[in-house]
Amino acid sequence: MVTPNSPKPNRFSRLANGSRRAAPLIAAITLGVVAAGLGWYYLKTSEAEIQANLESEAERLRTDVVVPIQNIPAGTALQPEMVAKRSVPSAYVHADVLTPDMIDGFLGRQLSVDISAGKPLLANFFVTPRKLFSEELEAGVRAVTIPVDEVSTISGMLRAGDHIDFLFIADKDGGTQAEDAIVVPLLQDVVVRATGQITSEQFSELRKRPDIANTVDPYRQRSYTTVTVGLPPVDAQRLILAQKLGKIVAALRNADDRQKLDTGTNAQQLASYIDSFRPQQPVVRAAPGRAPAMVEYIVGGGGVKTQVQTPLAALLGAAAVPGATVPTPQAPAVAGAY
């Protein structure tokens, strides 16, 4: 309680009391700022140390790549004087980058895009060369091309990659009549390597093009007059000789069908096969207990009249077979006077 005689508090004492109360708060704020500064300094120091370690590791692991020393426009054939070797950190090397030991395979090839100086060369920067047809043939295989027509190409539906049989049509023993013709399986399960100038590999590439749907035939509007197959040398000789001796017809088969023909067919076998379908001669039988029906002939002339009876069944049987002869009735030994 303040009495009239008590001294009045001055403002300095009030400030002192306020400072004592604010001291803990100021100290806490100061310590927080110091801690934040120390944390920031530690993080920056650690980051710099980590970055230095990474750069040191990257400098230690380096790869030699090929880079152009000048700007090269698209369509230019790459020459040795256009490129140089450069060492770059392995961590930044593209998977398709060209290394010095690979460059020989790309010299002389055309670039498909513009390349800036110093940019590492990639394999996909070059135009893909057309593969030689001979590179598609396996060792020991010979490619034989034969002329074909609309029938031999199965109405133009034969495609590279199909499996076919070659049937050989010729005259047996050098005969010239139709009955001397014979058909034999010459070569079986032969893979078509090309139709015209479209190879099986090119046909597969056509199928992969995004502008060609699976339901569209990439051969549409493409006509061809030759078919190329790959054969062992002995079979190639047979096919070439068969073209000179007779006619060859290609028979398309399923790609998964591996069944082989063992025999051929000649004209006599074909005739026997056709004869097996001819209608059989009908048989006319008389009813039991009854005499067979007869046809009566009355033959006259020269003052002699003769009556002859011929079984009706014999006449009907002869008429049922084309080219058969109707039996001629024979006159009896004794003739009556007219």
DSSP code per residue over 181-197: EEEEEEEEEEEEEEETT
pLDDT by residue, tens only, the chain of 338 residues: 555 555 555 555 665 566 666 677 777 788 888 888 888 888 888 888 887 777 666 666 788 999 999 999 988 989 999 999 998 888 788 888 999 999 888 888 888 889 999 999 998 898 877 777 888 888 999 999 988 776 666 667 788 888 999 988 887 665 556 667 788 889 999 999 888 877 766 666 665 655 555 555 555 545 778 889 999 999 999 999 998 888 888 888 898 888 888 777 766 777 777 676 666 666 556 556 555 555 455 555 554 555 555 554 554 444 444 444 545 555 554 444 43
Verdict on whether the full-model pTM lies above 0.85: no
Question: Are residue 137 and residue 120 in the same domain, yes or no?
Answer: no
CATH number at residue 94: 3.90.1210.10
Q: How many CB atoms neighbour CB 164 within 10 A?
A: 22
Question: Are residue 269 and residue 138 in the same domain, yes or no?
Answer: yes
Instruction: Give the whole-angstrom CA distance, residue 187 versus residue 89.
Output: 59
The number of angstroms, rounded, from the C-alpha of 233 to the middle of its chain's C-alpha atoms is 25
Q: Which two tokens stand for residue 182?
A: 């014979």
Question: Are residue 219 and residue 237 in the same domain, yes or no?
Answer: yes
- The strand pairing partners of 126, in sequence order, are 111
Question: Are residue 157 and residue 73 in the same domain, yes or no?
Answer: no
In order of 116, 182, 197, 220, the CA distances from 86 in angstroms are: 15, 72, 43, 49
Instruction: Give the whole-angstrom CA distance, residue 315 versus residue 333.
Output: 23
Question: Are residue 112 and residue 137 in the same domain, yes or no?
Answer: no
Query: Quick one: pLDDT at residue 337?
Result: 42
Question: Are residue 253 and residue 327 in the same domain, yes or no?
Answer: no
Instruction: Give the whole-angstrom CA distance, residue 248 versus residue 234.
Output: 17
Query: Quick one: pLDDT at residue 105?
Result: 87
Question: Are residue 55 and residue 79 in the same domain, yes or no?
Answer: no
Q: How many CB atoms neighbour CB 202 within 10 A?
A: 17
Q: Could you give the 3-state DSSP secondary structure of residue 22?
A: helix
Q: Which domain holds residue 245?
A: 133-275
Query: Quick one: pLDDT at residue 237?
Result: 94
Q: Which residue has the tokens 């508090």?
A: 9
Residue type, 243: Q
Instruction: Give the whole-angstrom CA distance, residue 267 versus residue 170.
Output: 11
Question: Are residue 139 and residue 121 in the same domain, yes or no?
Answer: no
Instruction: Give the whole-angstrom CA distance, residue 158 versus residue 144.
Output: 16
Q: Which residue has the tokens 């190879």?
A: 199
Query: Quick one: pLDDT at residue 336?
Result: 45
The domain total for the chain is 4
In order of 147, 182, 244, 267, the CA distances from 171 in angstroms are: 21, 6, 13, 10
* Residue 296, C-beta contacts closer than 8 angstroms, at least 6 positions apart: 307, 308, 309
Query: Quick one: pLDDT at residue 93?
Result: 84
Question: Are residue 111 and residue 98 in the same domain, yes or no?
Answer: yes
The alpha carbon torsion through 81, 82, 88, 90 (nearest 10 deg) reads -100
Instruction: Give the whole-angstrom CA distance, residue 153 versus residue 248.
Output: 11
Query: Quick one: pLDDT at residue 321?
Result: 45
Query: Quick one: pLDDT at residue 90?
Result: 81
Q: How many CB atoms neighbour CB 287 within 10 A?
A: 8
| Helix/strand/coil percentages in the chain, nearest 5 | 35, 25, 40
Judge contact between 156 and 223, C-beta under 8 A. yes
Question: Are residue 185 and residue 230 in the same domain, yes or no?
Answer: yes
Query: Quick one: pLDDT at residue 178?
Result: 62
Q: Which two tokens stand for residue 331?
A: 């006159």
